Amino acid sequence: MGVRHFLSLEDLSLDELWAVLDLAASVKATPEKYAHALNGKSLAMIFQKKSTRTRVSFETGMFQLGGMALFLGASDIQIGRGESIADTARVISRYNSMIMARVYGHDVLEEMAAHATVPVINGLSDALHPCQVLADLQTMRERFGDIRGLTFTYVGDGNNMAHSLMLGCARAGVNVRIAAPSGYEPDAAYVAAARSHGQVTGAEVMVMNDPMAAVADSHVVYTDVWASMGQEEEQAQRLIDFEGFQVNGRLMSAANNDAIFMHCLPAHRGEEVSAEVCDGPQSVIFDEAENRLHAQKALMLFLLGAG
């Protein structure tokens, strides 16, 4: 088999998805077993966008696996001065075992993967954020055990998180509801892809404009910031357009009694989520953030055949 990339959850078969999640649980429970698994390996981390969780979890994860990670800001390497993405990928592949890139356009990742001779990992693009969803699924399994048949509701902007959550949940047999204001629904192509997975796993995928109806009887309620990186100039308009879409106590009361609240972070308390929910007993946001470390360690082990 050739080089495996992870640009989307679509890059894993269903069996591989479960295998990576099982490995993530093992890595979390017995980290010492994997302390030398990637000795001598290195991860080049390219950042066009700022990061807290992605940078720290990947860098720490490589260290804990016995390898090393290199931070490469866009202004630190020649890609910021016009060197092509293809040449950058070819050169970095000669030095490193893997490449993780956090970018704006998803096409950047696709071009990088087309020319890299080592695995390329999507650390976030404007279209998808699959590493976050691995951590989300791990967190859900920790709380509920078998997650197949659960109902997952995402409230907010139909952005890269909504796209990846639809794909990941539908693949895992979890019913997905996306509640977004009119005009902010997720991309139709990702909705169609998620529904095709749902036909295999039995998961239902719905896109709605009524957050209260969407949250009814849900096991998981999830949200994200209303203006993502690069959309700051739209902030004021989005505050108007997203009125009524805040995840607060009233909205959570419509969910299941044992429902959990999730957020990929950073959270803007008072905007997409109220402080009472974000910091309340149903919130698992910091468990979720921690699981970025374990899920990504498992992913890197899988991609390098070291798991």
Judgement on whether residues 155 and 279 belong to the same structural domain of the protein: yes
Q: Determine the pLDDT at residue 80.
A: 62
Active site residues: 102, 129, 132, 224, 264, 292
Percent of the chain with pLDDT over 70: 98
Which residues make Cβ contacts (< 8 Å) with residue 141, sequence separation at least 6? Answer: 21, 25, 147
Q: How many domains does the chain have?
A: 2
Q: Is the dihedral of CA 276, 277, 280, 281 positive or negative?
A: positive
Alpha helices in the chain (DSSP H): 14-29, 53-64, 85-95, 106-115, 130-144, 160-171, 188-201, 211-215, 235-241, 249-252, 275-278, 285-303
Q: What is the pLDDT of residues 140-157, one digit of tens each?
A: 999 999 999 999 999 999
Which candidate, 67, 4, 1, places its Cα nearest to that of 304? 4
Residue 248: pLDDT above 70? yes
Judgement on whether residues 47 and 140 belong to the same structural domain of the protein: no
pLDDT range class, residue 228, cuts 50, 70, 90? confident
Q: Would you tell me the crossing angle of helices 106-115 and 85-95 to the nearest 10 degrees?
A: 50
Percent of the chain with pLDDT over 90: 93
Cis amide linkage into residue 186, ω under 30° from 0: no
- Within a domain: residue 78? yes
Model pTM score: 0.96
Residue 66 gets the label, from left (phi > 0), alpha (psi -120 to 50) or beta, of left
Per the prediction, the chain carries an average pLDDT of: 96
Judgement on whether residues 143 and 101 belong to the same structural domain of the protein: no
- The one-letter code for the residue type at 260 is I
Identify the CATH number of the domain in which residue 274 sits.
Answer: 3.40.50.1370
The range of the structural domain enclosing residue 276 comes to: 132-288
Judgement on whether residues 181 and 231 belong to the same structural domain of the protein: yes
Please list the residues that pair with 273 across neighbouring strands.
247, 269
Q: What is the pLDDT of residues 49-87, one digit of tens each?
A: 999 999 999 999 999 999 999 999 988 888 867 899 999
Task: Write down how long the chain is.
Answer: 307
- Within a domain: residue 215? yes
